[in-house]
Amino acid sequence: MKNINSKVFNFSFFLSNKVKVNNLEQAAKEHGGATHNLDTDEKYSNVEGNEFIKVYQNEMNVNTISLFIPDTVNVNGQASKEQIKKVFSYVVQKIFKKYQTEPRFENALGTWYSDELQTVVYDNIILVNTFLEDVTEADINFFVSLAKYIKKEMRQEAVSLNINSALALI
């Protein structure tokens, strides 16, 4: 396993660990956010740790990089199906072109606590998961650029990027 320093990427927010949770609303209030992967039934929050992204470098473990595509625009407004499809198609095409692999898609429910609205916001999310034997800084920068595209197109305050157990807000 190797460590990549997250500070290289100037993330607006970074958490290096992940914990299981039972209640999304409570976890959003306690940890700032939570995710329920509806396909695997995993519920978790990302939590503080250190500044490093842990990357596997052996054949026993594969690295998972996930982009979160929300179904909302402007924080909590409903996005059109055409808008979601456009963003989804662009992201998948770029990943396929670079890595020659089809990402795996999972449905999820994300929650996060909005300080501005003083409430828990719920988003239906498409997790676009890519699996790599190794991850380099160049790979992370590629996914950061895709997250920036999602952020712009969906008019979000931030977009989540997961790298194994780490979460970065772009």
At 39-51, the pLDDT tens digits run 999 999 999 999 9
pLDDT tier, 150 (very low <50, low <70, confident <90, very high otherwise): very high
In this predicted structure, the answer to whether residue 76 has a pLDDT above a threshold of 80 is: no
At 85-122, the pLDDT tens digits run 999 999 999 999 999 999 999 999 999 888 888 899 88
Mean pLDDT, the chain, integer: 94
In this predicted structure, the answer to whether residue 157 has a pLDDT above a threshold of 90 is: no
Three-state DSSP class for residue 45: strand
Q: What is the share, in percent, of the chain residues with pLDDT greater than 90?
A: 84
Q: Do 166 and 141 meet the contact criterion of CB atoms below 8 Å apart?
A: no
Strand ranges (E), the chain: 2-5, 13-15, 17-20, 33-37, 42-47, 52-55, 63-70, 72-73, 77-78, 104-114, 119-132, 160-163, 166-169
In this predicted structure, the answer to whether residue 3 has a pLDDT above a threshold of 90 is: yes
Per-residue model confidence (pLDDT) at position 160: 95
Q: Do 35 and 118 meet the contact criterion of CB atoms below 8 Å apart?
A: no
Per-residue model confidence (pLDDT) at position 74: 85
Radius of gyration of the chain (CA): 15
Structure tokens at 61: 């473990």
Residue boundaries of the structural domains of the chain: 2-169
Burial profile 86-125: b = 16 or more Cβ within 10 angstroms, e = fewer: ebbeebbeebeeeeeeebeebebebbbbeeeeeebbbbbb
User: Mean pLDDT throughout 10-27?
Assistant: 96
Q: For residue 45, give the nearest of 61, 62, 26 by alpha carbon.
A: 26
Per-residue model confidence (pLDDT) at position 121: 86
Which residue's structure tokens are 């990089």? Answer: 65
Using CA atoms, how far apart are residues 31 and 22, in angstroms rounded to an integer?
A: 13
Per-residue model confidence (pLDDT) at position 85: 96
In this predicted structure, the answer to whether residue 75 has a pLDDT above a threshold of 80 is: no
